[in-house]
Amino acid sequence: MKTYFSDLRLISSVITIAVRLLSVFVILGLYELSIYLLPKEIEFVSEIAVLTCLVFGVFGILPIQEKISGFLKSTFVSEYLSDDPGSSRLAHRRFDSEGLIKNVFPELVRLTNSNFGKLAILKNDLVHYELYTYAHKKQRKVNTFEGINPRAALLTYILNKRSGAMIGEPDQNKIINEDFVSLRANFILPFVFREKLFGFLAVSNIPKDNVRHELGFLAGKCALAVHNQILSSQIAENKKYRKELENAGKIRKFLESPEPPMVGDIKIDLLSREPGELLEFFQSPSGDFYFVFLRLSVTNAVSVLALCYILGTLYSSRLNGELKNILQIKSLVEDNLKEISWTERYDLAVGMVQKETGKISLRFIGKKFKLFDASKPDRNLASIGWENIETPGKDALFLTWNDRNIISFQHLGIQP
């Protein structure tokens, strides 16, 4: 039995009753039309009319009735609050978290008989949460840092409280109690799907036991809605970035040769390249060759977009003749990473091979790089903090990242 009959449930019930009454009148009208059109000479006119109405009602009117009811409820009532299976399937197909925030959030707060509540929704980065407040029938979005820390102990705590957590429970510690106070909450309901927290509802009142059962059912729908929203966005982004990468590959094929050419007597070999890495070669007007290796600490749609942006900036600077030395290239990459607000760790190596002298200059950021001579693989020739300059001898020089060979340099003019 529903404890609270809210405005949205009243609208849903009115829609159901109105559509069913309309179906009854349509079937009655169809019956009268059948009586009027059937020849009067045949026997059992009424029975034939009833059978006709029954067939059309089962195979025609009932499906249309469900469609109309689902459409009206999706327009005036959130699909996630509807008991209609068709509306629920529609909600899952639409992947619409906006309807969840606009309609379901206030309804959840009202079910607890609270005047104030906060809703946390997991963002597409699967780390941070967007927070929304509801107070005195008004909603607004607040910044994440004003609410819950994405690494707070509270999130781990409520993950194991499927039916909700109340303030002051015996297994709570001081930090979790402080999180309850900061959220102005006495009760928190988590949205859990496949053992992952996709959000939570924090309200000022502790709901009754029968209401908590209904809230738990709606929380499962909310978690699935947020999961589907994130999944849908990731699929769309992956398709977009895959297309962008294909276009970038075509453009790069026209701008540069697929393999680095000879630089004087120095042969450069590209040994490996993995997803999530940027490894490019640029030739200056003087014939010198620059190379850039950028490895981001995470590999996802956002990192792919960041690498594409850095690649476009490097090509633009190269075409404008702005690539003059490795320090300038290093600063260009770092400044652009700051510009796109990249806060994760990254490893960067920028180098140059001089055509006239055959010297190799190298600057890098990160502790996983190593430059060594093939005859002395245990000795690192490069150090962090300044420009390292080496001249290849009869043995090849190797640049490695995380013990993986990336580039080799060999002076072909010197015979072993």
**Residue 15 reports pLDDT greater than 50:** yes
Q: Which residues contact 19 (CB under 8 A, 6 or more apart)?
A: 65, 68, 69, 72
For residue 126, the model assigns a pLDDT of 79
Containing 318, the helix (H) or strand (E) segment is helix 301-319
For residue 144, the model assigns a pLDDT of 43
Give the right CATH number for 256-411 from 3.40.50.300, 3.60.40.10, 1.10.10.10, 3.40.50.11900.
3.60.40.10
Q: What percent of the chain clears pLDDT 90, i.e. is strictly above it?
A: 3
For residue 266, the model assigns a pLDDT of 81
For residue 145, the model assigns a pLDDT of 43
* pLDDT tens digits, one per residue of 40-65: 777 777 888 888 888 888 888 888 88
For residue 148, the model assigns a pLDDT of 64
Average pLDDT over residues 243-272: 64
Helix, strand, or coil (residue 37): helix
For residue 189, the model assigns a pLDDT of 92
Is 273 or 139 the better-scoring residue by pLDDT? 273
Residue 220 phi/psi, 5-degree rounding, is -65, -40
**Residue 244 reports pLDDT greater than 70:** no
For residue 190, the model assigns a pLDDT of 92
Is 413 or 313 the better-scoring residue by pLDDT? 313
pLDDT confidence band for 187 (50 / 70 / 90): very high
Is 238 or 69 the better-scoring residue by pLDDT? 69
Helix, strand, or coil (residue 414): coil
Q: Report how far residue 177's alpha carbon sits from residue 182's, in angstroms, rounded to the nearest whole number.
A: 9
Helix, strand, or coil (residue 289): strand
* pLDDT tens digits, one per residue of 388-405: 888 877 788 888 988 889
For residue 42, the model assigns a pLDDT of 73
Q: Which CATH architecture has domain 97-233?
A: 2-Layer Sandwich (3.30)
Q: What angle do CA 121, 215, 119 make, to 5 degrees?
A: 25
Average pLDDT over residues 259-269: 74
Domain ranges of the chain: 6-76, 97-233, 256-411
> How is residue 263 annotated by DSSP?
B
- Both structure tokens of 228: 């589907």
Is 226 or 260 the better-scoring residue by pLDDT? 226
**Residue 301 reports pLDDT greater than 80:** no
Angle between helices 209-255 and 85-94 (to 10 degrees): 30
Type of residue numbered 386: W
- Both structure tokens of 375: 């005859």
Q: What is the DSSP string of 362-390?
A: EEEESSSEEEEETTBTT-----TTS-EEE
For residue 288, the model assigns a pLDDT of 81
- Residue that the structure tokens 């039309």 belong to: 33
Q: How many CB atoms lie within 10 A of CB 58?
A: 10
Average pLDDT over residues 362-377: 87
Strand partners for 131: 120, 142
